[in-house]
């Protein structure tokens, strides 16, 4: 197309450690209430803080469906359904090939895969059950969603570590903006709280120790006394739609999606580099047609690791100095492939509800992480013109997404969903 189309977010679905659905998510953010709890497994032998969803969703599916649905797929299917219902679209087949689905994850159906490896090596089984491969493949969740929602256009799976869902959402936005699609479901899911996968992270020596006084305070981004990241699980999906399509069907929207930047460090498989994050932030601003002074809030990636937070702080200061910044991982943990999606959802609510989310437990700012921090307490009654969410992943892929409040369609709060 010769002209870029405006894109709005008309649906939001959330299953997270800080709420099931938009109303619960908003309440947790208002109260800065942590969803981080102790996670342990007998095989593991240690106790760790984790962003957990204390709910089993198997009852939402039939006995015939369950063998094909790892917990990751269960979370994804339910969150995507919630987003579609929120947008007022029950099925997408009427859009034909102009409806798409973009999904991000690190582990996908990793529990099914690891269970089969155990059966192979310990129980000496030599033939897997016929559904095993379809339950553990990385594109299992989006395939299940596309079948149920009848999404007949592109169904794409992204896996770029902690930016997986961010690049998925960004590519969905571009496809609609540039005229290839009219509507898309985009987001991510992760369900990696299993012993074998979590043990991989203990090998990195990057996980936080449980706070002895309050496990909910175990994740402390930007704080001088931070001890590492906290893993989490969940699924978050959006319905992105061309403005003209939303207007035609009388749909309300949360925010306008305005910009997408992606850049790679080209530096190290496990260590970030400020230059890549700077390039990503600037690319997002350029794509949105905005300047740094136009951004009123940034949701930072900040994982509470000693090496990661200062690198990100330098990048933010280089591009967005003085912009209010917070990392909500302090209350929900790091959802890996779904991290970008959850943090973008929080940024959506910040713009939609005119408030600044806070970095909980930020009692003593690390001098190497000096920023305009929104520390400990959210700030309410703060209209935001534009806001940004930044994510950075192993391998060096960085993603930034820009949201604006200039909708052109009626605004929805989502709090009555």
Active-site residues, by number, are 162, 301, 334
Query: Which residue is listed with tokens 């890996």?
Result: 336
What's the rounded Cα separation, in Å, for the pair 325 and 345? 16
Q: Are strands 297-299 and 386-392 parallel, antiparallel or unpaired?
A: parallel
Q: Which sign does the torsion angle of CA 24, 27, 29, 35 carry?
A: negative
Helix, strand or coil, per DSSP, at residue 170:
helix
3-state secondary structure of 360: coil
Q: Please, how many CA atoms are within 13 Å of residue 413, restricted to the half-sphere of its CB?
A: 8
| CA dihedral over 388, 170, 219, 141, signed as positive or negative | positive
Number of neighbours of residue 121 by Cβ within 10 angstroms: 9
CB atoms < 10 A from the CB of 47, how many? 13
- Cα angle 355, 9, 36 (rounded to 5 degrees) comes to 55
The dihedrals phi and psi of 154, each to the nearest 5 degrees, come to -65, 135
Query: Is 260 within 8 Å of 173 (Cβ atoms)?
Result: yes
CA angle 221/269/264 to nearest 5° reads 80
Burial class (CB in 10 A: 0-12, 13-18, 19+), 193: buried
Q: How many residues does the chain have?
A: 417
C-alpha span between 50 and 53 (Å, rounded): 9
Place of tokens 């600044």: 356
Is residue 248 within 8 Å of residue 390, measured between CB atoms? no
The set of residues, in sequence order, having a beta carbon less than 8 Å from that of 21 and lying 6+ positions away, is 13, 14, 82, 417
The alpha-carbon radius of gyration of the chain (Å, integer) is 20
Residue 206 corresponds to which tokens in the numbers above?
A: 């990057």
Phi, psi of 403 (to 5 degrees): -120, 150
CB 255 within 8 A of CB 403: yes
């Amino acid at each position: 197309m010769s002209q870029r189309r405006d894109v709005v977010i008309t649906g939001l679905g959330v299953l997270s450690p800080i709420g099931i659905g938009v109303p619960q998510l908003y309440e947790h953010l208002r109260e800065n209430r942590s969803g981080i709890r102790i996670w342990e497994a007998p095989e593991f032998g240690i106790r760790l803080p984790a962003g957990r969803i204390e709910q089993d969703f198997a009852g939402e599916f039939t006995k015939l469906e369950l063998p094909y649905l790892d917990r990751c797929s269960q979370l994804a299917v339910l969150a995507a359904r919630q987003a579609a219902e929120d947008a007022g679209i029950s099925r997408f087949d009427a859009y034909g090939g102009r409806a798409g689905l973009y999904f991000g994850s690190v582990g996908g159906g990793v529990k099914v895969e690891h269970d089969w490896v155990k059966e192979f090596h310990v129980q000496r089984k030599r033939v897997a059950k016929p559904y095993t491969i379809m339950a553990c493949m990385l594109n299992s969740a989006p395939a299940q969603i596309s079948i149920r929602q009848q999404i007949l256009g592109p169904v794409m799976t992204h896996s770029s570590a902690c930016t997986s869902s961010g690049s998925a959402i960004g590519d969905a936005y571009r496809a609609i903006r540039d005229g290839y699609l009219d509507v898309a479901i985009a987001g991510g899911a992760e369900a990696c709280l299993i012993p074998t996968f979590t043990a991989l992270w203990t090998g990195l020596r990057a996980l936080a120790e449980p706070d002895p006084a309050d496990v909910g305070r175990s994740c402390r981004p930007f704080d001088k006394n931070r001890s590492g990241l906290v893993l989490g699980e969940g699924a978050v999906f959006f319905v992105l739609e061309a403005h003209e399509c939303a207007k035609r069907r009388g749909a309300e929207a949360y925010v306008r999606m305005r910009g997408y930047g992606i850049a790679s460090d080209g530096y190290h498989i496990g260590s970030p580099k400020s230059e890549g994050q700077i390039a990503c932030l600037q690319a997002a601003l350029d794509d949105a047609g905005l300047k740094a002074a136009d951004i009123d809030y940034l949701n930072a990636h900040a994982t509470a690791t000693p090496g990661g937070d200062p690198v990100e702080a330098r990048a933010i200061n280089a591009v967005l100095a003085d912009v209010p910044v917070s990392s909500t991982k302090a209350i929900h943990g790091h959802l890996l492939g779904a991290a970008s999606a959850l943090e973008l959802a929080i940024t959506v609510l910040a713009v939609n509800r005119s408030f600044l989310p806070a970095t909980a437990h930020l009692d003593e700012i690390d001098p190497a992480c000096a920023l305009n921090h929104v520390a400990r307490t959210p700030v309410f009654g703060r209209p935001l013109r534009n806001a940004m969410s930044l994510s950075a992943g192993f391998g060096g892929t960085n993603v930034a997404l820009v949201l604006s409040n200039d909708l052109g369609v009626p605004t929805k709060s989502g709090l009555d969903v």
